[in-house]
A and B are shown apart, each in its own frame.
Chain A
Amino acid sequence: MTDARAVASGAPTGRGLTRDLRRLTGFTLKRLIALFLTILVGVYLTILIANMGGRVDDLRMVQIRGDVSETVRADPAFHDMSSEERNELIQRRVDLEVERLRLDQPFIVRSFDYLYRAMMLDLGRAEQMHSDRGAREVYWIIVERLPATLLLFGTANFLVFFVSVFVALSLSRRYGSPMDRTMIALAPTSAAPGWFYGIFLILFFAFVIPVLPSGGMVQAPPPESSLAYAADVIRHMLLPVAAMFLSQIFISIYSWRTFFLIHSSEDYVEMARAKGLPSNLIERRYILRPTLSPIVTSFLLMLIGLWSGAIILEQVFNWPGLGTLLFQAIGHRDTPVIIGSVVIFAYLLALTVFLLDILYAILDPRIRIGPN
């Protein structure tokens, strides 16, 4: 209560700003540390899951033995050895390699080593796969795919978010209208995920009426000029974005509409109406402003949900992003890539949560001002 009075009495703006900034930095730091710990535990859990029963170690042992025997057999210098000698040599080299990779140490010791490396984004080398430039490091394989995923999901999410908030605002103004009823009736269609609509969109727009490409990011020889390239990417993006849009838009509109309806019946809004303020001013200052932080929260929560939906949508549309990468890694049984993708997904999610916290702090004056 005292805070409110202090704000109302009007503290000097300069001092208020530095105080806000100081509080914000403190808050950000605290959140960063908390999130760091969260990621630490999350990644460690991932490593534990991936290593459960020593399956990964077995895979690596098989791989090491295979590689070593291959090199020894292929080397002409060892051709005149007897098979016994050769086996001994192979065994020696395998032991060396095992020692080098510290596979002879107990898992609990190595798990912390893995954790350290994963946290430093040193994700190891892929077993089979390589990046388009030819690198074998999991880090580069993943980083190369990241922009495609960000482009597709960024576009689709922003579109869904802004369209749904604005449509919902206008619907909440005249609820009960035929338009409003249609939207409510359509809301259950969002039970199906984006890839599901993707299949139908591909069926109609790529095969029945072949007007759009059925998958991929650019056509087979990529266009020369950057403008034509961008246009082609947009053409390829239309269907996947439409699929995500279709699967999300009605449920978003529905929930925002309900949300705005609940908030537009608050007393202070009624009061503003009674004062005779214009309706768009009421919307902006009395409905949108106080509800901004929950809106942002739910937007970012939606992002979190969509990160995982990405995998299958990308696979259905053959979009060269993280999801397709993960899918290919499953096909190759390339464990380091799979674990690396999980770690990257964890980081992306953590980043989203972090953004959420910061935005929350900026938007919600109660956090900025602090408890005292």
Chain B
Amino acid sequence: MRAWLSGLLELRKYPSAIIGMAIIAFLVGLSVYTVITVPYSQALELWRGGEQWRMHPVNAGPAWVDRLRGGGKPETMVISSADSDIDVEPFEGGQRLRIPLEFDYDYTAFPSEINLFLSTPELKREPFTRLTWIAPDGDETPLGGHRIAREDRVSITQDWALERRLGHVPHVGLLARDLDDESPQVQPGRYTLVLDAIVFDEDARIDADLVLYGRVHGLAGTDHQRRDLVVALMWGTPVALAFGLLAAVGTTITTLIIAATGVWYGGWIDATIQRLTEVNMILPLLPILVMVGTLYSTSIWLMLGVVVALGIFSAGIKMYRAMLLPIRQSPYIEAACAYGAGNARIVLRYMIPRILPVLIPTFVTLIPTFVFLEASLAVLGLGDPILPTWGKVLNDAQSESALYSQYYYWVLSPAALLMLTGLGFAMLGFALDRVFNPRLRAF
């Protein structure tokens, strides 16, 4: 026990160990925070995508990167009818509504998309609305009329007639200072979208949300399905750590126990274990994982099971065997035999603890290997179908050719987290290696 403590104390001398431990502490802290603030079921629900993300822009970069570069790219603006003064003019069997949706636009870049979400209660006759866009200089652009179903989305960006009229895509043309300009500038100021609606009911209301989608969003940006990447980046942390840790623990401990058993019993048991190791050496891990993923399921837990199962007879057995063989002959084992210790006791309490310190560094450096393995599978498209992970973000980015479209953030943020994990564990592992492996300590 004291050897362990002094070894840990010695770690303080290695700056890389301190940095590594800091990184690991940060990742563990982030995992705990994530699991507490965004519960598992909620994370899955969020990552499934769909309607809940309709107010988010597509492929928006992180806001802070743009601000650091001094850019003026817009963030998403939602202008709700709940905040505006609605004129009501009742008539026989219905009412006339005038809903002005006003907003100040001060960004230097255009929004990426404009949508109007309308909702009304269930009515016998669908309400009718006419839209007018009023620019800061007083120019009025009619946007046509719409019948409103119960939940409706008016995509102003995809109004082709409007686009032809303006000569630019609507989300540029409607906010441009000069339409004849090849590369138009934003006209800053107060815009208004007026909804003149006729509702065939005395007290029904229309709820309208005008959404000007931004070009930047939050800490990590969004993906092609409008999902906020923060969800995947945060939830990727506990998933990666859990996978890495469980796989490392599973493979190391089983391998160790089997190696020790083989050495202790010797004879045909040892020979069988050796032959099995050789068979296992030629079984290609990744292709088999790919095969299992394609034929059965890509669930992360099944993958974990296969990794551990194939890792039981890994090449490490040979190494442990070489370390354990001299220990088997040592006098203290003989002493244990003499007092009548059973086989299991000797293997578990006398042989394995002897080589544990040497194993700790290997164990720590093994964790990032499995973290990257999980990411590798996800990059191949065999990620867990429902869990948000870093690898799946990379896979999405790759299949949407993020690099080609210059969505660098999409690749860089999960990659940075993967790298951080890899570096953290590797740095600690290397320092541990020098502390616990006496042959290395001299150098």
Contact = CB atoms under 8 A, between A and B. Distances in A.
B275 A342 contact: no
Interface in A277-330: 301, 304, 307-309, 311-312, 315-316, 326-327, 329-330
A74 to B, nearest CB: 30
Contact of A207 (B284, B291, B404, B430): B404
- Of B279, B369, B406, B419, chain A has the most CB atoms within 10 Å of the CB of B279
Nearest to B296: A55
Given A46-B288, A330-B380, A192 B430 contact: no
A188 B442 CA distance: 20
Specify the main secondary structure of chain A where it touches its partner. helix
A107 to B, nearest CB: 15
Contacts of A175: 443
Given A207-B406, A311-B380, A349-B282, A192 B294 contact: no
Which are the 10 A-B pairs with shortest beta-carbon distances? A188-B426, A191-B422, A308-B286, A345-B284, A191-B426, A349-B282, A191-B368, A342-B287, A188-B427, A350-B282
A261 B443 contact: yes
Contact of B279 (A45, A187, A190, A312): A45
Contacts, number: 149
Interface in A325-368: 326-327, 329-331, 333, 335, 338-339, 341-342, 345-346, 349-350, 353
A70 B415 CA distance: 47
B283 A42 contact: yes
Interface string B368-390: 11001001100111100000000
Contact of B291 (A50, A214, A316): A50
Given A42-B279, A190-B426, 19 more contacts: A38-B275, A38-B278, A39-B282, A41-B279, A42-B280, A46-B288, A46-B291, A175-B443, A184-B430, A189-B423, A203-B411, A207-B404, A254-B430, A262-B443, A309-B286, A330-B381, A339-B291, A346-B283, A349-B281
Contact of B403 (A55, A203, A353): A203
Interface stretch (A16-24, A114-122, A130-138, A194-202): A194-202
B77 interface: no
A234 interface: no
Contacts of A261: 443
A56 interface: yes
A301 B315 contact: yes
B295 interface: yes
Contacts of B423: 188-189, 191
B440 interface: yes
Given A191-B423, A312-B376, A55 B295 contact: yes
- Of B286, B398, B425, B430, chain A has the most CB atoms within 10 Å of the CB of B286
Contacts of B156: none
B285 interface: yes
Contacts of A56: 295
B251 interface: no
Nearest to B19: A188
Interface residues of A, number: 62
B115 interface: no
Contacts of A311: 286-287, 290, 376, 380
A101 interface: no
B282 A342 contact: no
Interface string A27-58: 00000001000110110011001101101100
B192 interface: no
A49 B422 contact: no
B291 A195 contact: no
27 contacts: A42-B283, A50-B291, A175-B443, A184-B430, A188-B422, A188-B430, A189-B423, A189-B426, A192-B372, A193-B376, A196-B372, A196-B419, A199-B415, A203-B411, A206-B403, A207-B404, A214-B404, A307-B284, A311-B287, A312-B286, A316-B379, A329-B294, A338-B295, A342-B284, A342-B288, A342-B291, A346-B282
Contacts of A304: 281
Contacts of B292: 49
A203 B439 CA distance: 41
B279 A207 contact: no
B290 A330 contact: yes
Contacts of B288: 46, 49, 342
Nearest to A262: B439
Nearest to B375: A196
- Of A49, A195, A206, A349, chain B has the most CB atoms within 10 Å of the CB of A49
B232 interface: no
Interface in A242-297: 254, 258, 261-262, 265
A45 B403 contact: no
A79 B315 CA distance: 62
B34 interface: no
B91 interface: no
A196 B415 contact: yes
B80 interface: no
A261 B290 CA distance: 40
Given A207-B403, A261-B443, A338 B379 contact: no
A335 B294 CA distance: 8
- Of B288, B295, B398, B425, chain A has the most CB atoms within 10 Å of the CB of B295
Nearest to B440: A258
Contacts of A189: 422-423, 426
Interface in B249-289: 275, 278-288
Contacts of A187: 426, 430
A151 interface: no
A46 B285 CA distance: 11
